[in-house]
Amino acid sequence: HAKDSGRNSYSFFTQKMQNIARRKLMLKSQLALAIENKELSVVYQPIISIGEQKVRKFEALIRWNNFGEWISPEEFVGIAEEFSLIKPLGSFVLTQACLELKKLKSQGFTDIIINVNRSVFEIPLNKSENDLWLNTIAEHDLQPQDICFELTESALAPDKRNNEVLFNQLRSAGCTIALDDFGTGYSSLSYLRRIPIDFIKIDRAFISDMSENQSDNILVSTIIAMSKALGKKVVAEGVETLEQLNLLSDLGCDYIQGYYFSKPLPSAELASYLTDFSYHQ
Ligand code: C2E
Ligand code: MG
Ligand code: MG
Ligand code: MG
């Protein structure tokens, strides 16, 4: 009997693996088509400056409706990375973000910045790929200062030393760089010295339990103090409550992003969000 049930759980396991593999391959080919046919869309989540009490930035976030089913970027960005689709995906998002920003500027919203996520797999391999990003920005009559690139800690791992050179190029051109999901990756504090980062985004995992969990609270206040000492601005991600906002504000956090202010918004809603925005909701 033991042998039978062993065989059953084995085949159950392989069945499950096969289903996962099948879904992945299916999504991969559908995603390739969706990118080609420009069927992806981009939404924009407001980032609010606590000091100025106003909206200073939007983070561009990719969305994919695949025949009526919303696929999470957590799932398909990974697939794009695995199957060499991340560069076309990334250039689609950057182009959309530039179009959006150009539109906002023409509507009089001149001091907004858009943050664009960059996967470690789309880090330019050389200077000419780096220039491609800068060219996209320039082609839309924007300045490098208008775009901030968000990278996760894995992009800064010691075996990615060459990235340093490329970040420096982007940064000397005028783009800013944010370190995304801070605290969740292979944190090596040494790269905070090495790499030119302007913003540190504290991952939502630390923010969500701040009010109940004393050690999360200590971690967040320490990250903020350290970032400030290093001359970097701090963004808190995933802020959902007024209590979290107040705690972060008291700790000296610079920017807030999260459902407390707004979920990511479609392009058509940005101008009215900016016009109607009130810090004290
Ligand atoms: P991320 O860059 O850390 O983006 C923040 C995520 O947190 C977004 O999820 C956003 O919708 C969500 N979020 C913001 N505020 C709250 C909140 O108050 N509560 C909760 N529960 N969630 C909140 P989303 O849009 O599903 O994106 C997930 C991840 O997928 C992103 O994490 C990023 O790593 C990746 N991603 C999204 N768009 C792109 C893209 O255009 N390019 C690349 N390379 N990755 C992307
Ligand atoms: Mg991000
Ligand atoms: Mg993040
Ligand atoms: Mg994330």
Pocket probe for ligand 1: among 77, 82, 96, 201, the residue whose CB has the most ligand atoms within 8 Å is 77
Alpha carbon of 204 to ligand 4 centroid (Å): 8
Q: How far is the CA of 257 from the centre of ligand 4 (A)?
A: 12
**Beta bridge mates, 256:** 48, 236
Cα 9 to ligand 2 centre (Å): 39
How many CA atoms lie less than 13 Å away from 115 in the CB half-sphere? 25
HSE (side-chain half, CA atoms, 13 Å) at 168: 7
Q: Give the ranges where 174-280 is alpha helix by DSSP (H).
A: 190-194, 204-208, 214-229, 242-250, 270-276
Cβ(42)–Cβ(91) under 8 Å? no
Cα 181 to averaged position of ligand 4 atoms, centre (Å)? 6
Of the ligands numbered here, which is closest to the C-alpha atom of 73?
1
The predicted pLDDT at position 1 comes to 53
User: What pTM did the predictor assign?
Assistant: 0.95
CA of 45 to the centre of ligand 1 (A): 9
Q: How high is the pLDDT of residue 47?
A: 98
Mean pLDDT of successive 10-residue stretches along the chain, which has 281 residues:
58 87 96 95 98 98 96 96 94 97 98 94 77 94 97 77 80 93 78 85 94 91 94 97 96 98 98 97 85
N- to C-terminal Cα separation, the chain: 64
**Cβ partners under 8 Å of residue 37, min gap 6:** none
Whether the Cβ atoms of residue 184 and residue 205 lie closer than 8 Å to each other: yes
Residues ≥6 apart with Cβ < 8 Å to 72:
none
What's the confidence (pLDDT) of residue 32? 97
Helix axes 161-173, 127-139, angle to 10 degrees: 30
Nearest to 248 by CA among 225, 274, 276: 225
Index of the ligand 1 atom closest to the CA of residue 264 = 11
pLDDT of amino acid 126: 75
Helical (H) or strand (E) element with 266: strand 265-266
Contact between 77 and 23 (Cβ < 8 Å): no
**Three-state DSSP class for residue 108:** coil
What's the ipTM?
0.99
Q: Which residues are near ligand 1 (CB < 6 Å)?
A: 45, 61-62, 72-74, 77, 90, 93, 117-119, 150, 180-181, 204, 237-240, 257-259, 264
- For residues 203 and 184, what is the distance between their CA atoms, to the nearest angstrom? 7
Q: How many helices (H) and strands (E) does the chain have?
A: 10, 10
**Which pLDDT does position 191 carry in this prediction?**
75
Residue 5's pLDDT is what? 56
Identify the helix (H) or strand (E) that includes residue 40: strand 40-49
Residue 217, phi then psi, degrees to nearest 5: -60, -45
The ligand whose atoms approach the alpha carbon of 155 most closely is 1
